[in-house]
Amino acid sequence: MLEDKNQERTSLEKLGEFGLIDHLTQNFQIQNESTLKGIGDDAAILDFGDKKAVVTTDLLIEGIHFDLSYMPLKHLGYKAVMVNLSDVYAMNAQATQITVSIAASNRFPLEALEELYAGILLATKTYGVDLIGGDTTSSQTGLLISITALGEASEEKITYRDGAKPNDLLVVTGDLGGAYLGLQVLEREKEVFKVNPNNQPDLEPYSYIVERQLKPEARKDMVKLLNDLNVKPTAMIDISDGLSSEILHLCKNSKVGCNLFEEKIPLDPTVISACEEFKLDSTTVALNGGEDYELLFTIDQSDFDRIKGNPNLTVIGHMTDIADGAHLISRANTKIPLTAQGWNSFDPPK
Amino acid sequence: MLEDKNQERTSLEKLGEFGLIDHLTQNFQIQNESTLKGIGDDAAILDFGDKKAVVTTDLLIEGIHFDLSYMPLKHLGYKAVMVNLSDVYAMNAQATQITVSIAASNRFPLEALEELYAGILLATKTYGVDLIGGDTTSSQTGLLISITALGEASEEKITYRDGAKPNDLLVVTGDLGGAYLGLQVLEREKEVFKVNPNNQPDLEPYSYIVERQLKPEARKDMVKLLNDLNVKPTAMIDISDGLSSEILHLCKNSKVGCNLFEEKIPLDPTVISACEEFKLDSTTVALNGGEDYELLFTIDQSDFDRIKGNPNLTVIGHMTDIADGAHLISRANTKIPLTAQGWNSFDPPK
């Protein structure tokens, strides 16, 4: 489970910066017509024609955003791309290109970065995005990944956070809380491993939630589904910091309030059983857990017939007048103000 | 000279991630029509119309790329933007947008990040680029800045590294070696300061080279000049790692050789005198020093009349058949093979 210390090691100094980039990116092929020029010049060249370009960027830092004692590097590479593509899909756009910059200390041999890039390569192939550039440097401590993702959309498709109106329905894709609980399982196994390194953890009962943590998928399929259903959300955001935080973003940007119904929050059965095991409240986990990378959006009520009954989409509430505030309506029918208790990298470590 | 320990300190936890982004970016105004949507959604939206988009990214890490004991944070912010814009100009394009991601340890109070963003703001205003997004997180050690720059150019203007032909003239903007020597002066003063903290260094005689190190300017003006002169380079690159390394990039990408004439390399008088003081060979400094952020390009011989006599442009050599290789023709008229000894972040510390 922890890093294999007997792996082959090729030091990065041997290759140098340019050799390293060439080596790590040799298997990446251009997949988008809009990529006129990828890696290999001062900058990449893109052609979005009459489409609009979408740009987003995220930084992932060892010890803050990930723990390599249970996060395999290939999964990390994959997840780092997903985190960024999720933001592109949250604009109702198609992801088309990424740049990837990494900084690695001398603890990381070439083979480790190859694993990381194998995950990045898988993500680019699965999602049809092109790697078009990046920077590779050494760091004094740990591993750091900075990704910028680009996408394209026609102007009428682009969905901002500020278009929700009172009475719009609040809809979420997939289910929530799994990624956070997967992290709890992995943290627990790490502690067990420290005490007894020969213990082989049985993660099978937790495979769904562990996969939600280690190998999340950005919801490209949901952008396609909405397009197929001919539904254009009035506002949309991706769920990276927890449902509560994202609802408050939509409310603030759209200048509306919200009623969220506790009983409607979609939870996988594994999430419910893991919550019991860990003595956690499943609603709290869904509201504040984060890293689910589902899409949260609002639609006009007249679009309800187009989405109802779809197993991927759950109506969890409706928007209200801004004066009404943002509330959770509990199973006991009490009204609790929503607060953002989502994950914050500047909070002191717990 | 070293960090002022008595400055006001507001901890980053107080603001949280979203509050911090809002606070740091409140003074940034949109300057480009192509910026449809900047900060404040999952992603920014850009409209390049019938122009092509240019994308480049760079990562700057404390202890590897900069030393805060002599690099003021405002200068660092400015320089971090310049490093990226320089790559856009090296495509013969106009820089239009940047994203800025930073990671900072709890050693940095809010006031430090405000200084950093003051430098970024000055750069965006001076160069007319829009800040459109970014990510802000904590780090376990030190400060890290990841910038992605976007630009636009018409397809016929874009200049790659691979267009140089035998007999093309090799031209450089400005002068070389200053940034490296400025670093030597600052490193020396740092050592003096360690021994005697009350010593006030007199950097006046070195102001040109210290400024080349601390506050470099990307050559937007040279892209305009080439356009005004109606000269389109056949190939172009910016000088970040040293003249020698960049010439070899042009040769490799364009499949040509090169004769570089030592006596033609443009050097500022301050560079020559500092080289004498530090007992360094000025040619070696220009070839391998790096961080000058000048532009290096090739032009067809027929364009020579348009550039000759311009004080900003110096013809330093000409391209040859690939079989002839890349050489420095010394003042003594000996032919020395060019090798890339430029700065490499993966080299073991010297």
DSSP string, A2-52: PPPTTS----GGGTHHHHHHHHHHTT-----TTEEE-SSSSSEEE--TTSE
**What are the distances in angstroms from CA B43 to CA A151, B24, B134, B146, B321?**
9, 18, 9, 16, 47
Residue A63 has pLDDT above 50, yes or no: yes
Whether residues A180 and A141 share a domain: the answer is no
Closest of A121, A164, A118 to residue A31, by C-alpha: A121
Between A169 and A341, the more confident residue is A169
- CB nearest A144 (choices: B20, B144, B155): B144
Supply the pLDDT for residue B127: 96
Tens digits of residue pLDDT in A71-83:
999 999 999 999 9
CB contact (8 A) between residue A90 and residue B344: no
Tens digits of residue pLDDT in B147-158:
999 999 988 999
Supply the pLDDT for residue B195: 87
Terminal CA-CA length for chain A: 23
> Which of the residues B55, B60, B140 would you substitute to probe the A interface, choosing the one with the greatest number of A C-beta atoms within 10 Å?
B55
Backbone angles phi, psi at A37, to 5 degrees: -145, 125
Q: Is residue A94 in some structural domain? A: yes
Tens digits of residue pLDDT in A179-224:
999 999 999 999 988 888 887 778 889 999 999 999 999 999 999 9
Supply the pLDDT for residue B34: 86
Whether residues B184 and B307 share a domain: the answer is yes
Indicate the pLDDT class of residue B260, thresholds 50, 70 and 90: very high
- CB nearest B346 (choices: A12, A62, A87): A12
Supply the pLDDT for residue A27: 86
Both tokens of B134, joined, read 């970014």
Whether residues A149 and A175 share a domain: the answer is no
Whether residues A100 and A206 share a domain: the answer is no
User: What percentage of chain A carries pLDDT values higher than 90?
Assistant: 72
Under 8 Å CB-to-CB from A22, ≥6 apart: which residues? none
Q: Is residue B110 in some structural domain? A: yes
**What are the distances in angstroms from CA A146 to CA A102, A114, A137, A266?**
6, 17, 12, 32
pLDDT, average across residues A288-316: 96
CB contact (8 A) between residue B55 and residue A97: yes
Whether residues B93 and B178 share a domain: the answer is no
pLDDT, average across residues B252-273: 97
Q: Is residue A116 in some structural domain? A: yes
Whether residues B135 and B243 share a domain: the answer is no
CA Rg value for chain B: 21
| A80: containing domain | 12-153
Burial A211-244 (b: 16+ CB within 10 A, else e): bbbbbbbbbbebbebbeeeebbbbbbbbbbbbbb
Supply the pLDDT for residue B349: 37
Q: Which residues of B touch A57 (CB under 8 A)?
A: 99, 101, 133-135, 146, 148
Instruction: State which of A121, A153, A185 marks the end of a domain.
Output: A153
> Which of the residues A22, A45, A244 would you substitute to probe the B interface, choosing the one with the greatest number of B C-beta atoms within 10 Å?
A45
pLDDT, average across residues B3-28: 74
- How many beta-carbon pairs below 8 A join chains A and B? 225
Q: Is residue A67 in some structural domain? A: yes
Whether residues A187 and A304 share a domain: the answer is yes
Instruction: State which of A90, A125, A153 marks the end of a domain.
Output: A153
Under 8 Å CB-to-CB from B272, ≥6 apart: which residues? B282
Both tokens of A107, joined, read 């603890």
Q: Is residue A220 in some structural domain? A: yes
CB atoms within 10 A of CB A63: 16
Angle made by CA atoms B311, B343, B233, in degrees to the nearest 5: 40
Supply the pLDDT for residue B350: 37
Supply the pLDDT for residue A341: 65
CB contact (8 A) between residue A55 and residue B133: yes
Whether residues B134 and B190 share a domain: the answer is no
Q: Is residue A343 in some structural domain? A: no
Q: How many domains is chain B partitioned into structurally?
A: 2
The continuous run of DSSP H or E covering A228 comes out as helix A220-228
CB contact (8 A) between residue A161 and residue B41: yes
Q: Is residue A161 in some structural domain? A: no
SS3 state of residue B302: helix
Mean pLDDT of chain B, nearest integer: 91
Supply the pLDDT for residue A346: 56
Mean pLDDT of chain A, nearest integer: 91
Whether residues B333 and B191 share a domain: the answer is yes
Instruction: State which of B153, B187, B218 marks the end of a domain.
Output: B153
pLDDT, average across residues A101-121: 92
* ipTM for this model: 0.89
Whether residues A133 and A176 share a domain: the answer is no
Q: Which amino acid is at A64?
A: I
Tens digits of residue pLDDT in A223-257:
999 999 999 999 999 999 999 999 999 999 999 99
> Which of the residues A18, A20, A57 would you substitute to probe the B interface, choosing the one with the greatest number of B C-beta atoms within 10 Å?
A57
User: Which CATH number covers residue B283?
Assistant: 3.90.650.10
Supply the pLDDT for residue A349: 37
Closest of A257, A97, A87 to residue A158, by C-alpha: A87
Indicate the pLDDT class of residue B261, thresholds 50, 70 and 90: very high
Whether residues B66 and B41 share a domain: the answer is yes
* CA nearest to B346 within chain A: A13
**Largest Cα–Cα distance of chain B, in whole Å?**
65
Whether residues A174 and A143 share a domain: the answer is no
Closest of B63, B22, B105, B15 to residue A64, by C-alpha: B105
Residue B139 has pLDDT above 70, yes or no: yes
Q: Is residue B62 in some structural domain? A: yes
User: Which CATH number covers residue B88?
Assistant: 3.30.1330.10
Backbone angles phi, psi at B173, to 5 degrees: -90, 155
Supply the pLDDT for residue B90: 97
CB contact (8 A) between residue A138 and residue B20: no
Which region among A15-29, A100-114, B244-258 has the lowest average model confidence (pLDDT)?
A15-29
Under 8 Å CB-to-CB from B7, ≥6 apart: which residues? B109, B111, B112
DSSP B62: B
Q: Taking a C-beta distance cutoff of 8 angstroms, is the pair A158, A92 a contact?
A: yes
Q: Taking a C-beta distance cutoff of 8 angstroms, is the pair B325, B336 a contact?
A: no
Terminal CA-CA length for chain B: 24
CB contact (8 A) between residue B58 and residue A345: no
Q: Which residues of A touch B160 (CB under 8 A)?
A: 37, 41
DSSP B109: -
- CB nearest A58 (choices: B62, B91, B135): B135
